[in-house]
Amino acid sequence: MGVKRLGVENLADRVLELNGRAHRSPEIARTSRYARSVGFPEINIDLITGMLGETEENWRACIDGNPPIPA
């Protein structure tokens, strides 16, 4: 089907909630693990900077792939 992108947007649940996103970090982790387990050779993750409630510290953690920092 050609799908290889996850619209993660941010790793912090608080930021996702403030911006009206339906997904949270548990769904992000579960979907990523599932995609790997079924053999996706490449997965792109979209992040959005400047979301409501985001901090510089949170943004850096998202880029580094670290556990979310409460925003």
Residue 25 near residue 11 (C-beta atoms within 8 A): yes
Q: Does residue 70 lie within any of the structural domains? A: no
The secondary structure element, H or E, covering residue 10 is: none
pLDDT tens digits, one per residue of 22-63 = 999 899 889 989 988 998 888 888 899 999 999 999 999 999
The total domain count for the chain is: 1
pTM of the model: 0.82
Domain that holds residue 59: 5-64
Q: Does residue 69 lie within any of the structural domains? A: no
